Amino acid sequence: MSQLATLLQLTDSALPTGAFSHSFGLESYLDSEEVRDEPTLLAWLEGFLATQLTYTDAVAVRRACAVVGVGGSAGIEVLDAELTALLVPAQIRAASLKMGRRVLEIAHYAFPSPLAEEYGAAVARGRCAGHYAIAFALAGAGQGLGEETLVEAYLYSTLTSLTYNAVRAIPLGQLAGQRVLAGLRTKVPSAVARSRMADPRHFGAAAPALEIHQMRHEHQRARMFMS
């Protein structure tokens, strides 16, 4: 029960990570009207889940959990550097860092663990950048949450945040948002499995159109979101 409470707090949409201010490229698709209603939103989120979320974020969560398992920190510095290089769109990289550093700050008080503290110290010294997926994994694993649980929780909580943002931005009704989440919920387990079986060489694989839209976002005339 204590672990369930920890998981609920870590993935709560009210956790002040700043996720409400990021669309991770979705706003560019709203601007082009490629996403404009419930069906197109569901299709976009499914594509986002199948590419960047699975082969970058979920794999990063797994690798961070693996470092916790062996009790070392060198692997975290390597992973942090790889993520910094792999997140090519500037706004996506900045979003990862802003949210990651915020999670590390929260973890100091709410999810304390030696590796999360060590990662936070490395960020403060400039040895690491401080990415969200890594901070999330270290905060959760430090509280005894398992790798599979954390990967699934990370994916679903990210999709939930994006859906809530889309409900405001398109706009959609709240029931439409819940229908979208219900459809996504059935897709998450297979994404978890794909991230487990992913070839290490495919870490960071992304859809080119998605990255292009993410890069275009910073040049939009008007924006609701930071990314």
Mean pLDDT (whole number) for 53-71: 91
104/96 Cα distance (integer angstroms): 12
C-alpha of 126 from chain center: 22
pLDDT tens string 153-197: 999 999 999 999 999 999 999 999 999 999 999 999 999 999 999
The confidence score (pLDDT) of residue 110 equals: 96
Residue (of 91, 92, 157, 104) closest to 130 by Cα position: 104
pLDDT tens string 45-61: 999 999 999 999 999 99
The confidence score (pLDDT) of residue 68 equals: 84
The confidence score (pLDDT) of residue 172 equals: 95
89 pLDDT exceeds 70? yes
Max CA distance (Å), the chain: 48
pLDDT tens string 34-43: 999 999 999 9
1 pLDDT exceeds 70? no
73 pLDDT exceeds 80? no
What DSSP state is assigned to residue 16? S
The confidence score (pLDDT) of residue 118 equals: 95
Residue (of 195, 202, 201, 159) closest to 180 by Cα position: 159
Mean pLDDT (whole number) for 144-156: 97
Mean pLDDT across the chain: 95
Residue 74 phi, psi dihedral angles, 5° rounding: -60, -40
The confidence score (pLDDT) of residue 144 equals: 94
